[in-house]
Amino acid sequence: MGVGRAPPPPARRLKSGAPMLHGSEWSFADLRHAYDLCAGHFSQLIDVPLYENQLEVIAAEQMLDAIAAVGLPVHYGHWSFGKSFLNSQRNYLAGHSPLAYEIVLNTRPAIAYLMETNTLAMQTLVIAHACFGHNAVFANNYLFKERSNADAILDYCVFARDYVRRCEERYGCDRVEEVLDAAHALQDHGVDRYRSPSRLDSKREREAQAERMRAAMAQNAQHAFASLRTTAPTESPLFAKPERFPAEPQDNILYFIEKHSPSLEPWQRELVRIVRKFAEYFHPQRFTKVLNEGFASFTHYTLLHALHEAGDISDAIFLETMESHTAVIRQTPYSELNPYALGFAVFRDLRRLCEHPEAEDFQYMPAVAGRELRSVLREAITDYRDDSFLLQFLSPRVVRDLKLFACSAPGEASHWTVDAVQDLEGFETVRSRLARHYQYEHVVPEIEVLDYARSNTRALTLRYRALGGRSLDTEAATRVMRHVKRLWNFPIRMLESDDSGAAGKLLLTV
Amino acid sequence: MSTLIDARQRGRDKSADNRARFLRRFRGLLRSKVADLARHRSIRDANQGAELELSPHDISEPRFRHRAGSGAQSKILPGNDRFTRGEHIARRPQGAAEGGSDPADGSAGDDPFRFVLTRDEYLGILFDDLELPRLLRTQQADITETRIRRAGYSRQGVPGTLAVPRTMKTSLARRTALSGALREQLRLARAELAAREAEAEAEAAVKAEAEAATEATARSASEATTKSASEATLNPASADALAPESERTTTLATDQPTNVAQRLRSRIAELERQLQHVPFLDELDLRYRAAVPFESPRTAAVMICLMDVSSSMDEDLKDIAKRFFLLLYLFLERKYDRVELVFIRHTEDAEECQEQEFFHGSKSGGTRVLAGLQKVAEVALRYPASHWNVYLAQASDGDAFGDDGTRSAQFLASTLRERLRFAVFLGVGNDENSTLARSYRAIADAGYLSMAHAANRDLVYPAFRALFLPTA
Same domain, B304 and B425: yes
8 A C-beta contact, residue A260 and residue A454: yes
A449: which chain B residues are within 8 Å (Cβ-Cβ)?
A: none
Strand partners, B75: A407
Instruction: Determine contact, residues A183/A276, Cβ cutoff 8 Å.
Output: yes
Please, which pLDDT band fits residue A199 given cuts at 50, 70 and 90?
Answer: low
Interface test with B, best of A93, A114, A132, A334 (most B CBs within 10 A): A334
Is residue B357 within 8 Å of residue B391, measured between CB atoms?
A: no
Contact B73 A420 (CB under 8 A): no
Q: B321 and B441 share a domain?
A: yes
Tally the domains of chain B: 2
Range of the domain at B232: 164-285
Residues B275 and B336 in one domain: no
Are residues B274 and B219 located together in one domain of the fold?
yes
Number of Cβ pairs < 8 A linking chain A and chain B: 256
Q: What is the pLDDT of residues A3-17, one digit of tens each?
A: 334 444 444 444 445
CB distance from B242 to chain A under 8 Å?
no
In this model, does residue B71 exceed pLDDT 80? Answer: no
Q: Are B19 and A65 in contact (CB under 8 A)?
A: no
3-state secondary structure of A146: helix
Strands B2-6 and A110-115: unpaired
* DSSP H or E segment with residue B438: helix B435-445
Asked if the structure places residue B63 within a domain, the reply is: no
Tell how strand A447-452 and strand A460-465 pair up.
antiparallel
Give a yes or no: residue B452 inside a domain: yes
Average pLDDT, whole number, for chain A? 85
Can the peptide bond before residue A109 be classed as cis, meaning omega within 30 degrees of 0?
yes
Within a 10 A sphere around the Cβ of B87, how many other Cβ atoms? 15
Q: Are B313 and B461 part of one and the same domain?
A: yes
Domain ranges for chain A, please list them.
359-441, 445-509
Higher pLDDT among residues A126 and B145, named by residue: A126
- Comparing C-alpha atoms, which of B330, B324, B332 is closest to residue B390? B332
**Residue where a domain stops, chosen among B285, B307, B332:** B285
Question: Three-state DSSP class for B50?
Answer: strand
**Cα→Cα distances B251→B244, B247, B262, Å:** 11, 6, 18
Residue B220, classified by CB atoms within 10 Å of its CB into exposed (0-12), middle (13-18) or buried (19+), is: middle
Going by pLDDT thresholds of 50, 70 and 90, the confidence category of residue B239 is very low
Where is average pLDDT lowest: A397-401, B131-135, B423-427?
B131-135
Could you tell me if B453 and B304 lie in one domain?
yes
Does B437 share its domain with B302? Answer: yes
Cα distances from B202 to residues B112, B191, B206, in angstroms, run 92, 16, 6
Residue B260 resides in a domain:
yes
**ipTM, two decimals:** 0.81
Where residue B461 sits, what CATH number does that domain have? 3.40.50.410
Both B184 and B245 in one domain: the answer is yes
Is residue B174 included in any domain, yes or no?
yes
* Nearest CA-CA distance, residue A200 and chain B, Å: 25
Establish if B384 belongs to a structural domain: yes
Q: Is B124 part of a structural domain of the chain?
A: no
* Per-residue pLDDT tens over the stretch A433-446: 999 999 888 889 98
Instruction: Check whether A340 has a pLDDT greater than 90.
Output: yes
> Are residues B342 and B460 both part of a single domain?
yes
The reply to whether B97 falls in a domain is no
Which residues on chain B are in Cβ contact (under 8 Å) with A426? 85
A249 in Cβ contact with A448 (< 8 Å): yes
Residue B254 shares a structural domain with residue B332: no
Residues B377 and B239 in one domain: no
Q: How confident is the model at residue B245 (pLDDT cuts 50, 70, 90)?
A: very low
- The model's confidence at residue B101, banded by pLDDT at 50, 70 and 90, is very low
Name the H helices within B348-422.
355-360, 369-380, 404-411
- Residue B328: other Cβ atoms inside 10 A: 22
Contact list in A for residue B15 (CB cut-off 8 A) is 64-65, 68-69, 81-82, 85
Q: Rounded CA gap, B287 and A389, in Å?
A: 81
